[in-house]
Amino acid sequence: MVDEKNEGKLLAHLETIASSLERLALFGELEEFYSPDERKQLVAEYRALREADAVAFQGIEAAREEKGEAGLGWEARVQIGVPQETDFFVH
């Protein structure tokens, strides 16, 4: 689980990686490593994963809003008494 302090940094790094991969694809550099069919498959998988990630993130944000926790950091959630049984690996 990513703590909220580093979440923004992680998302920024992932966006940088994504944009770098897109640039490589645009410039045709990937032709040296993958066949056209492999590239199409990789791009399709990449887009599907990004879409799934966006849907999952929207679900998390919707749950936070529903619980009144939108925009709250961990410390604020602890102070207002949000239950700490949020470790999904425990259950």
Tell me if 45 sits within 8 A of 51, measured CB to CB: no
SS3 49: helix
Output the average pLDDT for the chain.
76
List % helix, strand, coil for the chain (3-state, nearest 5).
70, 0, 30
Residue 73: per-residue pLDDT: 72
> Which helix (H) or strand (E) element contains residue 68?
none
Q: Average pLDDT of 32-61?
A: 88
SS3 71: coil
Q: Is the overall model pTM greater than 0.85, yes or no?
A: no
Of 14-18, 37-41, 45-49, minimum mean pLDDT range? 14-18
Per-residue confidence band for 91, with pLDDT thresholds at 50, 70 and 90:
very low
Considering only residues 57 and 75, tell me which one the structure prediction assigns the higher pLDDT: 57
